[in-house]
Amino acid sequence: MSESWIVGINPVEGALSNDAERVRELLVEHGQRNARVHELAERAKALKIPVHHRPREQLDKLAGPARHQGVVARYEAPPMASEGDLSRLVEAAGGEALVLVLDGVTDPHNLGACLRSAAAARATAVVVPKDRAVGLTPVVRRASAGGADRVPLVAVTNLARTLRELKEAGLWITGLAGDTGQSIYGVDLKGPVALVLGGEGEGMRRLTRELCDFVAKIPMPGAMESLNVSVATGIVLFEALRQRGSVR
């Protein structure tokens, strides 16, 4: 486990709501008048979490380039889920398994936004390769708006092997790419599935694509060739939910 600082009102609120036992202390800016910051401080005290008032300069230093809004929390981050956890999660989800696989998303804001969408869609897990992902950094946590605490993030050593194991577990693998004629809206996503999206710029790697059962695109009638990976993630996850009757 490692300690990090969660910065800003919404991220701190998410940590207190979803993972309070890992919050070690709150630092509140001296003279802070924001009602939400005071509410967070009172919640922390009720949870027996120490609250300290500190000069703005100290919070600025801890927050770095991020806006702390008068509050930061020292957080003991849990380790990312293991490869063994993935098989357990998939087995528990059964026919409702919905796994998001991100092949090389290295921008922390994008990864955080993908986790946010995955949590909103109640995804079973988010899978990333250990050597091509940023991990659960403070920036990722902030961008996820609490999603990092709600959906397991699994870092795997060999993504190709993991995709084969997901197939053996009964999941159908659908990858997203722009250079195919198949629309995502024409792919059956109602059963246990894994949705694979590539990283910024490069897309899926060749071997990853070859292991997909289907390769589909998001139709875009406008004058754009591609979408940001986090936007595309939200679209395909909620298309899966729509097909399953989970979105009304």
In single-letter form, the type of residue at position 13 comes to E
**Sign of the Cα pseudo-torsion (147, 149, 151, 152, in order):** positive
Low-confidence ranges of the chain (pLDDT < 70): 1-3, 78-79, 132-134, 223-225, 247-248
* pLDDT at 11 (0 to 100): 83
CA–CA separation, 128 vs 201, rounded Å?
A: 17
Identify each DSSP E strand in the chain by its residue range: 2-7, 23-29, 51-54, 71-77, 98-103, 125-129, 153-156, 172-176, 193-198, 214-216
* pLDDT at 109 (0 to 100): 87
Kindly state the tokens that stand for 132: 């091509």
Any known ligand binding at 111?
no
Neighbours of 76 (CB within 10 A): 13
Per-residue DSSP letter, 80: P
Those residues whose C-beta lies under 8 Å from the C-beta of residue 171, and which sit 6 or more positions away, are 90, 97, 99, 192, 193, 194
Best CA proximity match to 163, nearest among 154, 155, 171, 153: 171
CA–CA separation, 165 vs 242, rounded Å?
A: 26
* pLDDT at 199 (0 to 100): 80
Any known ligand binding at 84?
no
What average pLDDT does the structure give for the chain? Answer: 89
Exposure of 20 by Cβ count < 10 A (0-12 exposed, 13-18 middle, 19+ buried)?
A: middle
Q: Which contiguous run of DSSP H or E holds residue 16?
A: helix 9-18
pTM of the model: 0.77
* pLDDT at 125 (0 to 100): 96
Q: Look up the CATH superfamily of 83-244.
A: SPOUT methyltransferase, trefoil knot domain (3.40.1280.10)
* pLDDT at 35 (0 to 100): 95
Q: Look up the CATH superfamily of 2-77.
A: Ribosomal protein L30/S12 (3.30.1330.30)
* pLDDT at 154 (0 to 100): 93
* pLDDT at 136 (0 to 100): 74
Domain boundaries defined on the chain: 2-77, 83-244
* pLDDT at 94 (0 to 100): 93
Any known ligand binding at 227?
yes
Q: Are 176 and 195 in contact (CB under 8 A)?
A: yes
CA–CA separation, 145 vs 245, rounded Å?
A: 26
